[in-house]
Structure 1
Amino acid sequence: MTGTRRPRVLAALVLVSLFLWPVPASADPGASAAPAEGAPGTVVQVRGAGWPVGVSVQVSVCGRNAVNGSVDCDQPGAVTAPVGPDGVVTAGLTVSAPPVPCPCVIHMVTPSGSEKMTVDIPFTVLGHKTADVVKQENPARIDVVDAELRGSGGVSELFGWRTKRTLVLTVRNNGPDPVTDAPLVVGWGADATAESPLTAPPTGTIEPGATAVYRVPVELPPASYGTFLVGGRFAGQTEFEVKFTTYPYLLFAVNLVALLALLAGVRAALRRRRTRSRGAAADVPFPAAPKAAPRSLDQTALLTYLESNARRADGETLVIDKPSLVAYLNGPPLLDSQALDRFLNDGGSDASR
């Protein structure tokens, strides 16, 4: 009986695990746009899933189905959106006319410095001209001659103020044809991807064999420290990146001095409190010792002692006035030692007898 039930239980567990086991997400990213058409100025909600976590995605409107890359896209109107921990990215994109005719797409691409992934969503730009899709047989051949960051923030940067640099990018047109208004996309990031966009200047026209120099201001938030990346793409295909470090040492020093001053103040306050506690303890009077109870006086013994020992200096025996002495001893309980001395020295009121 038991041996029959065990296989059934195992089979049931396997069946349940098939329903509960998580289904792996698709390795290829997907995306959708709503609405699927609109005139320039229309706001489109773009949503993608299955994107690499921790990167940002650039979203733009492109003509010619983006067959030539970002050359066919409206780069000034592009937006950048981060990918959430679940691999989902959402962005609001304002439609603008691409530089080439439709058919158009909404082009989604990962930034420079990461694995390149792209998704194109068909989209109709109302009122924009349409033509056959033509892929450039001789695409622009742009090479980066030099990419460097110049300048520094000076003393203000050392105090944690905004870090400022200037990207100086030098490119050469090694193709047979002029390159006009090629898109220049630049961004910066604190990690391995330049996901925060920067404003790049127009590229103009580069004749064959000519070089062009572009300057892009780079400004980081206050109190930035560590290693940063500035990178991007020129003409949709030529990538570049530059790394630099910045540390607000004076800001660190000021914070350290403030911390030490705070600790010194706390220590002084504790020392003063201990001193006051000790002084208060010293001001508390010690309890007075209890007064000894007055001893009772044996008058008979005292009179006997005086009769046998009371003598004058010449040896003559003194006569003690016993009634006066007994009356004195039976007087108030407070003992006046000086009065007693005078009485004994004078021999009482009848000492001469």
Structure 2
Amino acid sequence: MTGRTGPAGPRGDGRGRAGVLLAVLLATLLPALLLTATAAHAAGQSAADPKPAVTLSKKQAGKGGEVTVKGSGWPAGTLLMMLICGRSTPARGVIGGTNSCANADGRAVTTDSKGAFTKKLPVAEPPEPCPCVVHVATVTGEQALADAVFVVAGHPVAALPEQSGDGKLAVLASSRLEGDSGILTWFGAPASRRLVLTVGNLGSAAVKNPVFEVGTAHGVYAPQWEERQWRGTIEPGRKARVELPVELTPGAHGDYQISLKYGSKVLAEQPWGVGRPWGVTLFWILLCLVVPAAVFRIGMAIVDKVRPRPARASARSRRRPGRLAEVTARLPRLRRAPEPPVSPAPATGANTPAAALPWFTPDSAPSEHRPTTKGHS
């Protein structure tokens, strides 16, 4: 018994040490294997979903020229907008939003099935001074953008506004839209609200007069960004209530998405449902009823002026007797012979015989059937 157990003890200790070494080895290699697998997955995902990129055929051109823009890594079948923007760099983006771009000379392009495109863009001077970029952003679908440095020859150049140090702003409370629409909004006036949120400075430096960007998106369209500056200073570790005005275009209605961006980070998003301006619809309905009625009345007035009236004929007939009366009055008047006076007959009674006239005899009395002539007695 003792001889068997003697050698079994060292053999069992060797197996235990081997198990411990194997466990330590696995514990050491397992994180490395996991990191390698994660990196491979990230590399495969990044290869599957490349980042949107833009290249230019030339880096500088004057107003009136053209530059060919090529893109890759964009979503397939997506509508893009290409603009030349001032006061912009690829690192800081387009400061001031599309208000700093030559919007009238922009071009739209749709990516192919591989997410690539090629399009010529006319060179125009943006409303803001350079540094300038060719800004490409999605119009529909998921938001994506890319900038390429471009120099507009002959356009003024100015320094970019200074950044506010190492301050970092974060939203501490949920954002909301405050305000009501007036009666004029019912008739197509632009709807306006105030985007209210509480932000805190998580950085090590104070943020003075931060410049935010407010984006307005309608339906599937990408947001249109506009610059909004908040006046004030946020010290490190402090928070502040920020109110920024938001205004839509006249007559806008439907579902909108309001976004707030500071730098390249989107801080908040807030939905906004805008009712239809029924006053405009009522106005057009009344206009469609009033205008035809007014045209009809004007037409009837014109017809009444043009056509001959019966009153004119009656006036002519009234004028003719007047003229005949004037002519008749000018002619010499003929005098008519006066009628002999009629003497009243004497009253006769029943028994009183009729008196015979002295100058008539019974035989010479006039007969009823023969004419009589007057004579002298």
Query: Which range, TM-score by smaller chain?
Result: 0.3 to 0.5
TM-score for the superposition, normalised by structure 1: 0.46
TM-score if structure 2 supplies the norm length? 0.44
